[in-house]
Each structure stands twice: as C-alpha cells, then as structure tokens.
Chains A and B, each alone.
Chain A
Amino acid sequence: MATIHIDGKTYQVKEGRNLLETCLSLGLDLPYFCWHPALGSVGACRQCAVKTFRDEQDTKGRLVMSCMEPVKDQLRLSISDKEAAAFREQVIGWLMTNHPHDCAVCDEGGSCHLQDMTVMTGHSYRNYHFSKRTHKNQYLGPFLNHEMNRCIQCYRCVRFYKDFAGGKDMDVFAAHNHVYFGRHRDGILESEFSGNLAEVCPTGVFTDKTLKQHYTRKWDMTYAPSVCQGCGLGCNIIAGERYGSLRQITTRYNGAVNGYFLCDRGRYGYEFVNSSRRIKQAAVRALTGTDIGTAEVLQYVKDKLASGKVIGIGSPRASLESNFALQQLVGRPHFHLGMSDTEHDLTTLALKILRQGHVRTPSMQEAATADAVVILGEDLLNTAPMMALSVRQAVNRQPAQEAMNTTHVANWQDAAVREAMQDKHGPCFILNVQPTRLDELATVAYQTAPETIARIGFALARALGAPLAGINDLTDQEQQLVTQMAAALMNAARPLVIAGYGSACEGVLRAASNICEALHQHAKPSMLVLTTPECNSMGLEMLGGLRLDSAVDAVMNGEADTVIILENDLYRRLDKHAADNFFRRCKEVILIDHLYNATAEKATVLLPAGTFAESDGTMVNNEGRAQRFLQVYAPATTAIQESWRWLLQLGRVTNCERLRNMEFFDDVIHALTQQVRCFAGIEKLTPPADFRIAGQKIPREPHRYSGRTAMLANISVSEPKPPVDGDTPLSFTMEGYRGEPPSSVIPFFWWPGWNSVQSINKFQVEIGGSLHDGDPGKRLIEPGGNGQLTFFTDVPDHFVACAGHLQLVPLYHIYGSEELSVHTPGIAERMPAPYIMLSPEDARRYQVAEQHQLQVAVDGHPYTFMVKVNPALQRGMAGIPAGLPGTGIVNMPQMAKV
C-alpha cells in the first residue's frame, strides 16, 4: 500500500496501479477516453490530465496524464487544480472541433461517455468556428452501425478489436486529423467479438445495429439482470425492453465471469424473443377453430394427464425451476433430461469429473490468468466463444511477464508491454478435428480424429506421471507433441486444460481429466475447463433424470403415451427419422415452449412459455456456477407465462402433491433446495421477492423513463396499473429505491454523471475488480479432494476408416449451431448453408468436389448435403454442422453409409 495525497486529502491505495484507475477506484470523478480497464493505458487522448507536485512546497506542479503515471508513495496530485481542469476542458474543446454535435439523432445519446465527459469537464461553449472534416461511413455487416464523423480518435476500437480480441479486419488508416477507424473496405466485421465495439466506443461511431431496428433511448427501456442463453458459459447480460419487445442486450459486468465483454452470438442472438414465430396462445390441436381460453386448455390437459401414461422431457435451455417443476409433476422416475444421448453422457461425465476430481474448474477470469493452455477437441470460438477470449489473454501471460521484467513497466502500460512482447505467445496447444480460428495463437495446432486426440491426451497424462498404460501407436509427430506439451505444462505455474462437448467424445474428457489429475499429483495448481453445450446443461445434469433414449423406449414399447415437453425441440435431440417415429407413437404431446418449431408442429397441446426475458430462473454454467436471470418485462398477453408457472398450474389442476403450496418463484426455489441438496444456497443468488430497501422495491426503469402516461393511450387514456412482480424484489416501474441495489439485482448500470456503460466504475470495489458486495452467482461445485476420482484407464480405440462409410462428427458454428439465436435476422444472415465436410481423399473416392451434392444414409434414411473439402480432416470422417437448421442429423458421432 502507498499513501497518496489528492487535493489535500490522504488516501491509502495499492501500489503499482496508475493514477487514473486509482482515482476512479476511490470514487473520484476524472474524465478519460483512451484508457479502458481491460485494455490498459496508452496516453493518447490526454483527457485524464492531473497535476502532480514534487513536495509540499511545490505549488507550481506538473501536468501529467494520470493513466500513464504509476502510484508512488507520498505522491501529491490535484484533480481540481485550475490549470489541469482548464486543460481537460480544452481537450473536449479540441475533440468537439470535428464532432458533429448530433446527439439528438445519435443512438449513443443518453448513454454516451463523450456526453458525460463533456459535462464533467464543464466544456459548454464551442469556440471553434471553422468547417469540420467529414468521413464516409462503411457497411460493417448486420451487427454494427458505423458513423465515423462522430469519432474522437481514442483508438479504443482498434485496441480492443485487434490487440485484445485478435481481429484482423479492422484498423486505423490515414493520419493527422483524418485518421479513420474501419475496414480496408466495406464488409462484415469478422471478429466474433465485434459487438463489444458498441460498448468500447465512447461515442456513437460503432452502435448496435439491431437496436437501431427498433431504437429506444437507454433511459426509456425496462431492464433486468439476466444471463446469456447462447452457450454453456453463462455470461451476464442486461436485457432492455420497450413496448413489449426486447430491444438490446448489453454486458452486465461480472468480475468473475465475462468481465466487460460478450460475444456476438450472446449480444445479438436475442431477437427470437420478438419473433413472429412466438407461441402466444394456449391451444389444443383437437379443438382448433373453437374459441377456447386457457381454462379450457388446462381442463383438456388435466383429462389427458389423468388418463394417459405420462412422462416428462426437460430441457437444458430451460431454468432449473422449470425443469424441477416438471420433474415434480411427472415424478422422478418419469423425468427425462431432454438432451441428446451423446450430450447427456458427456455432461454426466463432465459433472463427475468436476465433482470427484481434485482439480478446480476456473471461471473465465481465472482461466485468463493461465500461463500454458492445452485445448483438446474444442473449437472454442464456436462452442464457447468468450472462453476463447480468456485463452487469448492467457497466452499473453508469459511474454507479458517477461516484457515487464525487462522494461520495468507496469502491466497497464499496454503499448510498451506489447512492443516488448512482439508476437510472442506463451505455450498453447490446440488439438481438434479441423483447424480453428484460434490456431494462430497455438505453439502447435494439430488436427486428428477425436479418438486420437483422446489417445494423445492419455499419453500426455502418462508423460506427466499418471499411472497409465503406454500408448504405443502414436506417430513420431504425436509423440513429439506429447513431450512438448508435457514440458510446457510442467514449466507453467498455472496450466489450463480445456475440453468439452465439442469433440463429442468421452475419451477426450477423460484424457483432459487425467492430465489435470497428473498435474495435481505434482502439486501444480492446474485448471480444467469442460465446456457444456447449453446454458443450463450443467444445472439439468445436477438435477438429474433419465436419458432421452429411455423416453423413446418408453413410448415405443407402450409404457408411455403422453409426454410433456418443456422448452425443447426434440428434432434437435434426435435424428429426424427417429423424432418422427417417436411422435407418431405419442397419443398426447403437451409442449410448453415459446417458439413454433418442428416439435410444436407435432404437439397436441401448446402452452406459451415466457422466454428468458419474460421469466425468472436459475441456470448453472459449465463451471458449476448457479446464476439467476430475472424477468425483464411482463408479456403483453397473460397467456404467456413462465414454464414453471404453467407446471405449477398443471400441478394444481391435477392435485399433484409434490407441487402443493407452490405459487411464487421463491416457493419453487425453496422446494428445489429442499429436495435437491446440491442446489443449497441458490435461494441466496438474489434477494427474495419481499426484499425491500428503505421499504421500496428496485425499479427496472430509469428515473428518466418517459412516455408511461401516453404509451398505452391507444388502449386506455388513463394510465393502467403497472404489472405487479410477486416473484422478485424488482418492480416493473420507474418508482422505487434509487440507490445502489445488491449486485445480483442491478437492472442497469447508471450513476449520476455517468450515463454510459462506463458507470460500471461506480459499482466496483476497485476498477476491474468485483462488484460491491461480490460478483453475482454461486459456485456449486468445488474440487472434491475426497480422492474419489482416480485416473481413467479406458483409452478409446483408434479411429479406423471404414470402407463405404463415413464417421459423422459435429462441426460447430457460432452463428447457426445454437437453436434460438438463429432467429435473429443478422445471425441467420451469417449462418452457413448445411454441408458435409470431407477429406480430399474421401472426396476423390466418392468422386465429389466442393459444391457437389453427396447423399449419405443414417439408419437407412437418406440425407443430402453440399460438399466441402478440408485437407485437415481425417480420411473416413465427415463433418456435419451441428445444430444447423435443415441438417437433420443430430446424433453424432455416428456412422453413415455413402
């Protein structure tokens, strides 16, 4: 700790940090642009100038940029010094010489860091009376709008896009006051993290294009803290609504999870909520055409449940509460998890490894601190994109440390550290069936069959001392790779191994576990990340239930004839022909879901469910971290309600003992924690519904929310009573407690004078650290240490190509593999068309080339795809895009006949 003096007051602060973040951490206001807590300092904008003084006698002082100056003991500085303040005001004056002053028509207006900083410096009169320079804007794809005239040249965009996220197709061009930030020509920004530019940009150069389609000011939206539904990582998001439609997703800072950023699937994949395919009314297929209400539908379901042999199929994209309610309704012996069998088995294994192993699974922020990385069978940018961003930071760890040692500068001296690092990366090994876009970071990137990846992993564990049988049939290259990886992991202080569902191969997970357990025996604090396919796969697995094939068996052999399906499209869990067969045998299919999909097509009863934006719920991410998402808004029609609420209603009409006395969200959580012990503690993820601060609820709407007396005037001229939220401590209004709420229920980040996302500064213990009273979420799985898990010994057999057949393996796409996000037009635009990817040898053998059609048969059923050829693919294997609409093949790996 150091003692510093700011404007005559004395503070105890951390040494080694810069003055800007120190001042902000102390809660002081100091304007800035080019500095970003995750990107460090470069000293470009000159906005954060302060005066420092040699000693008490020094009255003149020296103007310095606070972002570039380290804290030193007994340092004296002044923010309020007249010269410093005048300089900061003039910096805004300079920036404004070319800024168009178009706030009124700018999407950033009202949540603009430039506006905030302008007000903060006091700049209010423009002395510049000459002409402004203008730029042409670019088309950057479906996600971002580009308006270069607003640019204040802070360089944050390129520093995030290129330096931090590794993007290649954006840069700064030209010089002096013509500098231009964009692509070399119009075109879609390639990076999976491009959407962060809208938050990184301090003004309106890069703005959210999907928001623009249904634009609303920040102060006019209704918000709730939420959790991304896009993959198993569970990034924290804030969702905003107006007029009954979801308008925007922004990052909800969580110091332990996603930090300041989101991937583009997470940010833009929300538009399914507004889809025209939403199920909006409860309906009974047999009664189509008759005018029936919810009560009649419930009556119909009650009869069918009473007469039928009922099973339930849950869902990894539904909340714990909904899955639990279904499990209670149908009874544990009749509850099926609703994952594909492959994913079920992989998740079961992942949970076993995490629960029984000795190795900690890190949060994304912890993963970013690794100094050696081995990725087995995972194409992270497509299966768990934000983890790829962590890996990107992790591979910088070793060279950055070296750079700091030789140059004696702090880690926040971004340009200096990068210069000294050059292009060096720490050890990183990526083994996958095909090349990944992360391979550029890899010390070695190696492509082979999942089984071989597993075998290499077993060999690596053995090389690290695991008591395993030798694997003798590795090639020389593979053997060398094993040696190289073993050395890198042993040299590392915090080695990280990543595997998961991407390989669709349990052997790969076992190998990953073995590697970490071997490192653990050397007392290495190693970390193991196992990705999970969907937002609540891990939670569902922890809840427990039967495999999907047992549901299919039950229906096929007549043990069941009535199935309640919770937020699940079985055509994504079973191959098309298998799903068709299943539904043919069902007497009643009761579907609780929000989008009209292939399963809805087969349903006999539809119950309209709320999406994440219209529901409260809990999910568990791949790390075992339980996280709560809260309802953003009450759906326009009361016919739509949370899945768990439907299930409670079904419980009531069927007099289900297990669901008795449950009415509100807190009741479900209470019952869940009572019945399933591993969920103990999740009741504290957010305060209960009766939580009040100063007797008040926490408002979902900003205090400047406008139009509430007029927005429904077309329906009634008197302002209707706002919906009541009996499930959470949040209100659906702008009234309520205006101070800082507990971190888990912050609906939006706003602070007096800080209207932009940068107001996060005011909610953190220290800049870049945890939110006040801790980052939301609770880890439910910690390394057992009870020694239950030993080394896995079942090494998978070598993959052997089989004449006339292709082993189908899943290939993942950030845009396309996830079910709900593809309903955003921009994401649909970036989806590939279904294809089959072959090795060049197989393409020759089957006499096909790129763009040709190839027919394969699965279980005797034909599927036709367009051919792609990839030289990295193993002979005898074929890649099929996982989850992509129109593909039809779900169960992979499996053999297909050509």
Chain B
Amino acid sequence: MEAPLTSNIKPGVSLDIKTYEATGGYQGLRKAMQMTPQEVTALVKESNLRGRGGAGFSTGMKWSFVPMNVEGPKYLICNADEMEPGTFKDRWLLEGNPHQLIEGMIISAYAIQATTSFVFLRWAYKQAAQEIRKAIAEAYAAGYLGNNILGRGFHLEMHLHTGVGRYMCGEETALLNSLEGKRAVPRAKPPFPQISGLFGKPTIVNNVETLSYIPHIVNKGIAWFQSLSRTGDGGTKIYGVSGRVNKPGAWELPMGVTMRELLEEYAGGMQHGYSFRGALPGGASTDFLTSAHLDVPMDFTSVAAAGSRLGTGTMVVLDDHTCPVGFVHNLEHFFAQESCGFCTPCREGLPWTEKILYALERGEGTEEDLEQLDLHTRLLGPGNTFCALAPGAMEPLQSALKYFREDFEQHVHEKKCPYGNYTH
C-alpha cells in the first residue's frame, strides 16, 4: 500500500534537502517547469485533488480562478495553522518532510504565477517552525527558491510566518487579514481571495497536506493518483484517531477506508473497559457519527451522505465513560473563545451555548435550556453567520443532541452530571 506523503518520514527526523532529493524530491518541480502554468493547473484540476484542510474543494478549480494576465504581485499561501481540536496530521508533514511541502508550494506558485509565498504556521508548532526555516534556507541555497528557479526564469520568494494562536486564522480570509497585520476577522466573499486576497492581490491559500501532494501528482500522474484511492476522491489521506483507543495516532491510508477499519485495524480498537459511542470523523467541527456508521467509507462524499463531514480526517472518539455533554461543553468552550467577535450570532451565541452546557453539567440546566440549544444549532447554521466557525461549532452539538439526547435530559432531570462531572 503506497503512502507517498509519509513513507519517507522517519520518526524524530526531518528530511534534509539531500535526503529528500535522494527520494525523488524536486523531480516534480523539474517536470512542472517543463509545462506551462496553465498545464499544471489543468493537471491538478483533472486529478480531482480535493482540499485537505476540511472543505474538500477542488484544488485545481480554485487555482483556475486566479487571473493570469494581470499586473502586480500574486501570492501563494500555505495554511499551516492547524488548530482544529483533535487534528495533528499537518504537523507530521511539516516536521517530517518540509521539502515536500516547499516543492509543492513552488509548483503551485508557478501554476498561478505567484512571486511571493508564505507558510502561515501555527504558533505552537515550534519544531515545525525550525524545520521549515531550515528547509527554506536549503531550498534557496539549492536554487529552488529566489531568482530564475531551475533556469526557467521563474522567481519566487518564500517566508515563514508564525501566527499567534488563533483558530480563526485557519479560515483563509481571516488568515489573510492576520498576515496583513490586521485583526484576524474573516472577509466577505465575493470577492474571493483568488481575485482580491493578500494585500488586495490575487492569492491562493492551500492546506499543508494538499500542497504536499502536488509534487507527487505532477511526478506520477493522474492515473496513479486516482489508483491510490478506493473511491472517487483520489489519492491517499492522512487519517487520525484520538480518544480512548489502544493506539491513537495518524496513518496515511487510501482515501475511503471505513471508520471501522481505522478504529479497529489501525487504532487497535477501544481500550479495555470502554466501548465506542460515537466519533467526530473529521475533527472538532464535524457532526458525530455512531456505531451505525462504522462502515461508512471515509471520503468527502460518503461522510457527507452519512450526515457529517470528512473535515481533516482526524477522528475524535467518544467512549461510554465520557459524558457527551461534558465532551461538547469542552468543544463549545473552545469555539466560543476562538470566535473572532465580528458577527453577532457567533460572538454572542457560542458563549450562550457554552454557558448552558456548563449549567447542564453542574445540574443547573432546564428543559428550556435544551430548547435554547436546539434553537442555536438551527440559527447558527451556514449562511446565518459571517463565516463557517459557528456552523462548525454547532455540528458536534446538534449531532450530540440528536444521538445522545437522553444524556442531556438525564442531566436536567437528575440535576447533576450522571458521569460524575462537577460533583463534589
């Protein structure tokens, strides 16, 4: 089973440029530079590579919206602000194989003819920062960055920018504002960043995993890419599992493995004495799936059909000893705190849900509170808020209310947390 993104990564080691080149690194770039930018975009579009940041939008399609015959700078940005609770897949790539990302970024920048690129890195990823900084320097020294790359007349600068730890910066337009030195609040679309992005110039923002795939697709072609997958969504995917399983971790697997395979074969099943109640399949901002969904293939389309989202592909498992209300309370605390404060429903609605969940946990919740929670899951839906943060925050809550309703009601009726949270 091929794992192009991670097979060369060794634990505790970051591939330097020599080792990376020895494994075929920068061959994709050489190949891409023989193509026109439009050909590169067309190739990626045809491969049906879907964004690995969570939304699953076609990468090639995104690039194709960048105007190609305009004056002035364009930007390519790697979104490495991995802050989704339960998600740690990009970190693996950033720390283990930074050149793979850099090569992907150079090819992508070439495709849209960007001349400046940024890695927007989560502040807490200190090790990754160090490796990326070193790798960028190596790439400059080797002539992969800077003027006249590979003698093909293409010019690209690359900078590492470390954020200050705001979940909001994972939203691409808030990331752009933050990178400009402004408040990390999202922007209205249209105009899309492809037209008016960083400093009002055409900009592409892609996820680490997405960009890391580009060299491989260019190198080995579309057929190869699609053959890696079990489903219509091509390639492999880095999946992760956290929670009370025997072997929490992340694995690069064919797109479309089932939840059951992931849970039982790779994560080693539930720990002794715990049983599976449900999981957030794609990180904290996705809907719970339950044991009824264990055979759903983990690809964008299938998970959506099951009522959740593939998101980042990193599953957070809820076991039978953990209070679902407490579980969701913890998440809503995070989301409320990470709300940027720009639009009303998110700024005021999320703290409200957090407070209700806390009250439920303390045995102070009422039936009316449950109604308020239901109301919020409806009113904080997509389109009602300025960006996707609050709708994402509502996904675990709405599905918990759906699948674990009896737990919520128990909190109300017993006037305490049945799992013993907040009891003295």
Contacts and interface: CB of A to CB of B under 8 A. Distances in A.
Contacts of A176: 336-341, 347, 350-351
A581 B372 CA distance: 81
Contacts of A47: 344
B123 to A, nearest CB: 15
Contacts of B200: 403, 419-422
Contacts of A409: 190-191
Interface stretch (A37-45, A250-258, A358-366, A700-708): A37-45
Contacts of B386: 43-44, 46
A45 B348 CA distance: 11
B190 A408 contact: yes
A334 B368 CA distance: 83
A44 B343 contact: yes
Contacts of B190: 407-409, 416
Given A90-B375, A407-B196, A416-B187, A63 B383 contact: yes
A177 B187 contact: no
Interface in B325-357: 336-345, 347-352, 355
Interface string B191-226: 100011001100000000000000000000000000
Nearest to A180: B341
B357 to A, nearest CB: 11
A413 B191 CA distance: 10
B188 interface: yes
Contact of A175 (B188, B339, B349, B372): B339
Contacts of B187: 415-416, 419
Contact of A407 (B195, B341, B348, B384): B195
Contact of A94 (B168, B188, B349, B359): B349
A253 B368 CA distance: 46
A46 B382 CA distance: 13
A124 interface: no
Interface in A248-289: none
A407 B70 CA distance: 13
Interface residues on A, range: 35 or more
Nearest to A42: B188
B349 A178 contact: no
A484 interface: no
Nearest to A407: B191
A91 interface: yes
A87 B384 contact: yes
Contacts of A175: 166, 168, 183, 339-341
A44 B344 contact: yes
A172 B196 contact: no
Interface in B382-424: 383-386
A64 interface: yes
Interface in B353-391: 355, 359, 368, 372, 375, 379, 383-386
Interface in A775-829: none
Contact of B345 (A46, A98, A413, A419): A46
A43 B385 CA distance: 9
Given A43-B386, A174-B341, A419-B200, A130 B347 contact: no
B385 A46 contact: yes
Contacts of A127: 368, 372
A155 B342 CA distance: 8
A49 interface: yes
B188 A178 contact: no
B337 A130 contact: no
A161 to B, nearest CB: 15
Contacts of B372: 127
A43 B189 CA distance: 11
A153 B341 contact: yes
Contact of B352 (A97, A406, A415, A420): A97
A211 B352 CA distance: 36
Contacts of A609: none
Contacts of B349: 94
Given A407-B190, A407-B195, A46 B339 contact: no
Interface in A1-56: 42-47, 49
Contacts of B168: 175
Contacts of A68: 188
Given A45-B343, A407-B196, A408-B190, A62 B383 contact: yes
Contacts of B355: 130
A406 B166 contact: no
A175 B188 CA distance: 18
Contacts of B342: 44, 155
B137 to A, nearest CB: 30
Nearest to A64: B383
Contacts of B344: 44-47, 91, 94-95, 152-153
Output the residue of B166, B188, B375, B384 with the most chain A CB within 10 A.
B188
A689 interface: no
B345 A416 contact: no
Interface in B140-154: none
A275 B368 CA distance: 58
B351 A177 contact: yes
Given A46-B344, A176-B341, A407-B196, A130 B352 contact: yes
B152 to A, nearest CB: 28
A179 interface: yes
A128 interface: yes
Contacts of B338: 176
Interface in A137-188: 152-153, 155, 172, 174-179
Contacts of B359: 130
Contact of A406 (B195, B199, B345, B375): B195
Nearest to A93: B348
Contacts of A97: 348, 351-352
Nearest to A155: B342
Given A42-B188, A95-B348, A413-B188, A178 B341 contact: yes
A403 to B, nearest CB: 7
B384 A416 contact: no
A94 B348 contact: yes
Nearest to B202: A406
Given A155-B342, A406-B196, A409-B190, A177 B383 contact: no
A115 B126 CA distance: 49
A408 B192 CA distance: 11
Contacts of A155: 342
B414 to A, nearest CB: 20
A422 to B, nearest CB: 5
Nearest to B337: A176
Nearest to B335: A176
A422 B199 contact: yes
Contacts of A407: 190-191, 195-196
Nearest to A424: B200
Contacts of B340: 175-176
Nearest to B166: A175
Contact of A420 (B183, B188, B196, B368): B196
A153 B347 contact: yes
A46 B183 CA distance: 20
B110 to A, nearest CB: 23
A49 B384 contact: yes
Interface string A627-648: 0000000000000000000000
Contacts of A415: 187-188
Interface in B165-192: 166, 168, 183, 187-188, 190-191
A128 B341 CA distance: 19
A176 B333 CA distance: 11
28 contacts: A44-B344, A44-B386, A45-B343, A47-B344, A49-B384, A90-B379, A94-B347, A95-B348, A128-B352, A152-B344, A172-B183, A174-B341, A175-B183, A175-B340, A176-B338, A176-B340, A176-B341, A176-B351, A177-B336, A177-B347, A179-B341, A406-B196, A408-B191, A409-B190, A416-B187, A416-B196, A420-B191, A420-B196
Given A179-B347, A403-B196, A409-B191, 6 more contacts: A43-B386, A176-B336, A177-B336, A408-B195, A419-B200, A422-B199
The 3 closest A-B pairs by CB, nearest first: A94-B348, A407-B191, A179-B341
